[in-house]
Chains A and B, each alone.
Chain A
Amino acid sequence: MAKVQLCNVVVLDNPSPFLNPFQFEITFECIEELKEDLEWKMIYVGSAESEEHDQILDTIYVGPIPEGKHKFVFQADPPDEQKIPVVDALGVTVVLLTCSYRRQEFVRVGYFINNDYTEPEVKENPPAQPQFDKVFRNILASEPRVTRFKINWDDTDTMHQSTDDTTHNIEEELVSSNGAVGFSENSSHSAMEVM
């Protein structure tokens, strides 16, 4: 079962000037103490055309995580405007939040962003070279797109690796030969359902 469920993300300081840092207040619930840290990433999609312009704004570790509900603010600096193609400076783009456990991504949240000038005169006649200090960023917080992935939450595999001991190996062999009894019919289960 998924050990971590994302409960809520609140977009803070929104709307805000383009050069302000991003702030997301993330609430998640964990049903069992995690052995390892979560890894959160914030990715700014610089251009819809190509992933080359994606910028990882920050990568953080979050831990330790005991069982229960937790909240933290994930703040990251704004993207490097130098790396954003001029044509994509304004308009709609996306910021992504991803979370991984044991380097397996299990949830991804995408938000649309609209970047635009607020001053009417600049808005009417946008300069050829975007002036980011005049751009405002508006994150469409009400419509997050959440993608969840099934991952392996167990720690069993690594445990076997670490206890590399001959006697253990022998025991495992015994276990496996014993364990084979009577469980093979499970596989037939899915084929059986005819409703």
Chain B
Amino acid sequence: MELIEDAVLIQNGTKRWRYDNGGSTHEMDLPIFSIDIHPDGSRFATGGQGEDSGRIVIWNMAPVVSEKIENDENIPKMLCQMDNHLACVNCVRWSFSGRFLASGGDDKLVMIWKISKYASAGGNTVFGSGKVNVETWRCATTLRGHNGDVLDMAWSPHDAWLATCSVDNTVIVWNALKMPEMVAVLKGHSGLVKGVAWDPVGKYVASQSDDKTLRIWRTADWQQDAVISEPFEECGGTTHVLRLSWSPDGQYLVSAHAMNGGGPTAQIVEREGWRQDKDFVGHRKAVTCVRFNSNILQKSYKSWCKPQQYCCCAIGSRDRSLSVWLTALKRPLVVIHELFSNSVLDLSWSGSGLQLMACSWDGSVAFVEFSEEELGKPLTLDEKSTLHERMYGKFLSPSARQTCVVETPELLEVREKQAEMKDPVVPANQTEPATEQPVTQRTPMKGPINKQIETRTSDGKRRITPMFIPPAPDSGDVPQPFGASGSQQPTFSSSSETKSRIVIEKRDDIVTPNVSGGSNSRPCDTTSAVSATPVVNSTSCPPTLNNQVLGQRITPNISDGRLEVQKVSRSVPPSVTTKRRIDTAVSVGTKLPVVKRSRPPVTSGSDKQLQPTSLPQSSGDEGLSGVGDVDSGPGLKLPPLRLQNGKGLVVRISGGNGLVKSRRLEVENRACGSSFGPLTKVRVFSDGCSSGDMPQWEAVLGYPVSGSVANSQLVVIACEDATLHLLQTDTGQRPLPPLVLSSPASRLALNASQQVMAVTCRGNLSVWDVLKGKALVRNESLLPIMQAEPGSVVTILSCSLTEEGHPLVSLSTGKAYMFSAELSSWLVLANSSDPVQRSSAHRAFVSTLSASQNTGGLPLACLQSHIISGVSLLGQGSSANALCTVTFMEQQLAACRALNSKQEFHSWLLALARFLTQEGLETRLRLICDDLLGPTHSHAKHSKSWDTSVMGFSKHALLREILPLIGSNLHLQRIYTEYSDQLAMLSEEK
């Protein structure tokens, strides 16, 4: 791809540039969707459609600016082309630091690029295209999160965040310091989001969508601050993008396509109350993009006594024209009509503010240069930040959200401690985004760097471990300004007379190739044939070899992407050759319609790997088959317990009293016969003994066993005659005679307090306390919780019994229940399809309890893990709905109380406090604190109405844990001080 000047000079100072595709002029010009000038003005990036992929190109800016440099063939125009996006690139944006380039495309991906230099010299080409990449830009991070095409992006001031918007109706805010972490997903738009822009002081982010609204979101809590819809009511979704922009002084937000009196406008939204009474009028078709010059400008007009400050804004439209406005003037500074032959799609100002570039659907780029007299004198950075400070206070620091003054020194201490506890890796200078992934840094030994290693696979083929070419140590990674002088086009050799100089180390090891070809069983050929139009980067000139005009051509055969060689008569003059070539191509195409190559089979060894290992269907799986398949009779029908092979089972019993080791329960149906029928043998061995050894005890049962559970105290055996036998694990004695179930058992459970639960095939649940010899739950039906929607099947995923004897049931519907005998009712403990839970952003606030702990200690987590599907909610960490989060967390607390799960209660309480603190929900925090603090009057100690503990935790101790959390939000420092003082007072009284 060459940057070639199109012969048209539009206006004085305006040049027009065209993309050119690899020398062939027949191809349609590929649209350029986005353009962005590097902050240092040395390069610019374009993004758009490539031949078969999305394409990003980084260009040298100097040849665009200067004609002399342009004509110097030694100075490269294109610096790097990246065809990594699978589909059209809709947006490219440089970070403010200039170190990163973000790109977003139709492939739903956002990629972050940084420059890298390879140690080994030599050029890097877009192989086969004849283009040379002078620079190497590599993808540092890929951000996956959008479910649709990414249309626009914006880096926040100081590169703290990156906002991306998509046709999936969302805006995602990414942590630019810790890619690929998502900070928030802004949901609210009901149509494709086509533009996103940050407030220059970092307090808001705005987005414009096809849903005919513009929304403004607060960065403090990522909630929506305003919806503006009136100017957009008459808009149709006729633009590819709606790139809105915020003025550098923060006072005005200018939208893309709006309507006023039937004509297209760019709406001006004032920061003050989001007033919308001004607009830019004049374009004849919808406005696609608006871009403010990042400088605040200043000029003394004759009529004004003192210099006035104003902003400058460029507007591009579907009417193919470009207008530039100064906020100090009522009329546009300049309008360039018919700049392109199709819609303007993006605009970019250089850092100096005097250069403007625009790109268009027609595949060309325009460059406009202004003089300081025309635009005005830009304020220096210092003047600009002074202005910002005067207007907004000290917002500009990256930690802009801490806008309060610390009132008590004590609190400062708390905050310092917290800062220490927090990630100590985070460096103080946050302006430098740490997109530096550890991934890219773990280079030390990626492969041999001075040789290639060859081994043989079992089928005799070679397997080569290639030589790794290490990147040069990143030298700060800020791309050096690409000067007009100095740099030469790297030479690039494609042929060499010498033989290979790479050392080949041959090893005798026989290895297995690491190929599974998992997709092989599927028609992979068709996928490639259907989805891909092969690209042939071919040059149009015919190959000439040794001055022989051999009439042979390589023609790409589109159907299977194979190169066809065809013979054409030598004597034919060249001009006719082209024609003939086409003719023969057609005739060959008809002659050999399906010459698709069968690919040679890969090694048998790997074919073996391909076999899908289908697990033998174990009979136990039938236990999951649903109730829906049995329609007969009212009520439920659950699958009965059955032994896997019908013969017997082995249950391991771990733990036990004192010295008793682990034991093993063995049940064998029809182990021996008697004259009246077969007998079932039940034996308990201490672990380590084989079946031949002497069991600790043994017993026989007259009916076949269908299932059993056991722990160190009790063995529970369900027989096929619907009886339940209870035996003591130590002795084999029976504490009770067999219990009769109303129907055969379907599920059994047992807890450490010798309580037994049984669910029958008819869906009835009973719990008995064996020690006390009484029923806790009597034949309670599962029907209320297992009502299936017509056509669906509800199955039990798991059944268990808490230590308090409460039965827990989790179902395939994503819900989990506990039966409370006291309330004689089922309680909902979890419901993964509950919209409240699904829109809750609790995950970011829950500190995960260490997995090493016995999961028995986390009954709620255990229960919910069964049914909460692994969907990573998009709203993770988002501020989608604070109320949902609070409600969900309170539900969790109630569930913890019901389950008497102390550890989880503690963790959820802290999570709730953390969330309320972050959201600044003072009232609710006070409610929690009041309860934990209790009465503070002098007779508090005698108070009966207030418990000093909750769930086994001292309330005051809990409050002491929560207070530092509250202290982390300076807005809540009054609460912190108030309660910590009272707490101190109370403990003194004691």
Interface residues of A (CB under 8 A from B): 1-2, 5-15, 23, 25, 27, 29, 31-32, 35-37, 39, 45, 48-49, 51, 56, 58-75, 91-94, 96, 102-106, 108-110, 112, 114, 116, 138-152, 155, 157-158, 161-162, 164, 166-167, 170-171, 174-175, 178-179, 182-183, 185-186, 189, 192-195
Contacts and interface: CB of A to CB of B under 8 A. Distances in A.
The 4 closest A-B pairs by CB, nearest first: A146-B128, A141-B495, A158-B518, A48-B565
Contact of A61 (B464, B494, B532): B464
A149 B446 contact: no
Contacts of B168: 182-183, 186
B131 to A, nearest CB: 12
28 contacts: A2-B53, A2-B86, A13-B498, A14-B497, A31-B138, A36-B515, A37-B513, A39-B602, A48-B567, A60-B461, A63-B514, A70-B469, A71-B466, A93-B565, A94-B563, A96-B563, A114-B548, A145-B128, A145-B538, A146-B536, A147-B536, A150-B53, A151-B528, A166-B621, A170-B797, A178-B871, A185-B167, A189-B148
A66 B139 CA distance: 14
A70 B833 CA distance: 48
Contacts of B520: 102-103
A75 B500 contact: yes
Contacts of A157: 518-519, 522
A161 B550 contact: no
A179 B871 contact: yes
Contacts of B838: 178
Interface string B561-605: 111011100000000000000000000000000010101101000
Given A114-B546, A195-B318, A68 B471 contact: yes
B494 A25 contact: no
B81 to A, nearest CB: 10
Contacts of B129: 146
A109 B535 CA distance: 11
A156 to B, nearest CB: 10
Contact of B452 (A73, A106, A155): A73
B697 interface: no
Contacts of A161: 518, 612
A179 to B, nearest CB: 7
Contact of B500 (A25, A92, A189): A25
Given A12-B496, A195-B239, A102 B518 contact: yes
B513 A148 contact: no
Contacts of B869: 171, 174-175, 178
Interface string B497-524: 1111010100000000111111110101
A148 B52 contact: yes
A103 B125 contact: no
Contacts of B447: 64, 66, 68, 70
Contacts of B85: 1
A31 B139 contact: yes
Given A1-B109, A110-B554, A195 B467 contact: no
A4 to B, nearest CB: 10
A8 B492 contact: yes
Contacts of A96: 562-563
Interface string B547-567: 010101010100001110111
A194 B270 CA distance: 31
A175 B554 contact: no
B495 A175 contact: no
Contacts of A147: 534-536, 556, 561, 563
A18 to B, nearest CB: 15
A108 B563 CA distance: 9
Contact of A110 (B124, B467, B516, B563): B563
A171 B812 CA distance: 9
A17 B462 CA distance: 24
A157 B515 CA distance: 15
Given A71-B467, A109-B128, A150-B52, A11 B496 contact: yes
B62 to A, nearest CB: 26
* Chain B interface helix/strand/loop/mixed: loop
Nearest to B447: A66
A112 B443 CA distance: 38
Nearest to A116: B546
Nearest to A193: B240
Given A8-B127, A138-B545, A31 B463 contact: no
Given A61-B462, A145-B537, 15 more contacts: A9-B127, A63-B514, A71-B502, A104-B519, A144-B128, A145-B128, A146-B127, A146-B535, A149-B528, A150-B532, A152-B524, A164-B612, A164-B613, A175-B870, A178-B838
Interface residues of B, number: 120
B237 interface: yes
A162 B611 CA distance: 10
Contacts of A11: 494-496
Interface of B: 52-53, 83-86, 107, 109, 111, 118, 122-125, 127-129, 138-139, 142, 147-149, 167-169, 192, 210, 237-240, 318, 342-343, 361, 439-440, 443, 446-447, 452, 457, 461-471, 492-500, 502, 504, 513-520, 522, 524, 527-528, 531-532, 534-539, 543, 545-546, 548, 550, 552, 554, 556, 561-563, 565-567, 595, 597, 599-600, 602, 612-615, 621, 624, 795, 797, 812, 814, 832-833, 838, 869-871
Contacts of B535: 146-148
Given A141-B494, A148-B52, A61 B463 contact: yes
A66 B446 contact: yes
A13 B497 contact: yes
B496 A14 contact: yes
Given A60-B464, A103-B520, A36 B514 contact: yes
A151 B527 contact: yes
B783 to A, nearest CB: 21
B516 A158 contact: yes
A178 B493 CA distance: 54
Contacts of B440: 67
A108 B548 CA distance: 26
Contact of A70 (B122, B462, B467): B467
A28 to B, nearest CB: 8
Contacts of A114: 545-546, 548, 550
A27 B469 contact: yes
Contacts of A145: 128, 536-538, 554, 556, 563
A9 B500 CA distance: 12
Contacts of A155: 518
A72 B237 CA distance: 51
Contacts of B494: 8-11, 141-142, 144
A8 B125 contact: yes
A103 B602 contact: yes
Contacts of B457: 61
A146 to B, nearest CB: 3
A25 B500 CA distance: 7
Given A2-B86, A5-B84, A114-B548, A61 B515 contact: yes
A184 to B, nearest CB: 10
A9 B167 CA distance: 40
A63 B500 contact: no
B403 to A, nearest CB: 35
Contact of A149 (B169, B532, B565): B532
B563 A62 contact: no
A72 B493 CA distance: 16
Contacts of A152: 519, 524, 527
Contacts of B563: 45, 94, 96, 108, 110, 145, 147
Contact of A7 (B127, B468, B471, B517): B127
Contacts of B567: 48-49
Contacts of A150: 52-53, 86, 528, 531-532
B538 to A, nearest CB: 5
A105 B361 contact: no
Contact of B504 (A68, A73, A139): A73
Nearest to B518: A158
A103 B519 contact: yes
